[in-house]
Amino acid sequence: MSRILMFLYGLVAYALFFVTILYAIGFVTGLVVPKTLHTGVAAGLGEAIGVNVALLALFAVQHLIMARPAFKEWWAQFVPRPIERSTFVIFASSILLLTFWQWRPMPEIVWEVGSPALRSVLIGVSLLGFGIVFYSSFLIDHFDLFGLRQVYLHLRRREGVNHKFMERSLYRLVRHPLMLGFLIAFWSAPTMTQGHLLFAAVTTAYIIVGTKVEERDLVRYLGDDYLAYRKRTPALMPLPFRKRTSAAQTRSSTAAS
């Protein structure tokens, strides 16, 4: 029964994530959903900045703390390992939903694209960014990332096997294509209000800090393989004219030095 309950818990967590990410797409692009970055009851500038930054900071701190290996070891005293990731997903999704609900619009326009065709292109690029996020998540195991794989294996009484480091598809171009997708989605705005600019700027700062913190864990876990990968692959910005060094060449040059 406990295995079934954990599996159901994982399904609920995944469903909450899926609803949240779909709403996030509408929240950022201004499509379909009732509450977006630009709508709601306007507040004073100081209150809006304070509330919005606090909401985004809460999300950033939750991610930076709960994703660390040391925290996971401590957290395992209270939360069974099969549902650890699902619990993380529930916390993250709940904070995002709180952010959508409590976001204070800052409607002053910073820039606006007038051409309807170009506006449509920018919305399309933003949606492409979210598509890159989804695609990248499947490259690294989407269902593991959001907790379903763990509860499924526990239900089947099977041990999970850690994935080997693989360099493929978008991960051959940048080390963090999932985060690059978010950056594309957040900055491709036909109408950039103060609120949207604040959202994009704070999330960009978190992505820069968060990837650096994550990479310290990856170096500890993967060692020389990741160090070599980091040496030959840019973090977030693809470099189209950069001559790519193969993994074998990188290992040879590292060994020679």
Please say whether the beta carbons of 199 and 56 come within 8 A: yes
H or E element in which residue 109 lies: strand 109-112
Is the per-residue pLDDT at 249 higher than 60? no
Provide the angle, in degrees to the nearest 10, between the axes of the packed helices 177-187 and 116-139. 160
Count structural domains, the chain.
Answer: 1
Q: What is the pLDDT of residue 164?
A: 73
Give the residue from 231, 252, 220, 233 showing the smallest Cα distance to 70: 220
Q: What is the mean pLDDT of residues 189-216?
A: 96
**Those residues with Cβ within 8 angstroms of residue 240's Cβ, 6 or more apart along the chain or in another chain:** none
Residue 254 pLDDT:
36
Q: Helices 2-29 and 116-139, interaxial angle, to 10°?
A: 160
pLDDT grade for 238, boundaries at 50, 70 and 90: confident
Stretch 186-211: mean pLDDT? 96
Q: Tell me which of 38 and 255 has the higher pLDDT.
A: 38
Domain residues for the domain of 176 are 2-256
**Coil, strand, or helix at residue 138?**
helix
202 is written with which tokens?
A: 């704070």
pLDDT the model gives residue 228 = 94
Note the pLDDT tens digit of each residue in 86-105.
999 999 999 999 999 999 99
pLDDT band at 257 (very low <50, low <70, confident <90, very high): very low
Position 245 scores a pLDDT of 53
Residue 247 clears pLDDT 60, i.e. is over it: no
Is the pLDDT at 167 greater than 90? The verdict is no
> Which pTM does this prediction carry?
0.89
Average pLDDT, the chain: 90
pLDDT digits over 24-79, tens only? 999 999 999 999 999 888 889 999 999 999 999 999 999 999 988 899 999 989 99
Q: What is the mean pLDDT of residues 141-148?
A: 94
Q: How far apart are CA 202 and CA 126, in angstroms?
A: 17
Backbone φ, ψ for residue 193 (5° rounding):
-85, 170
Q: Which of 114, 121, 130, 98 is nearest to 28 (CA)?
A: 130
Q: Which pLDDT value is given to residue 242?
A: 56
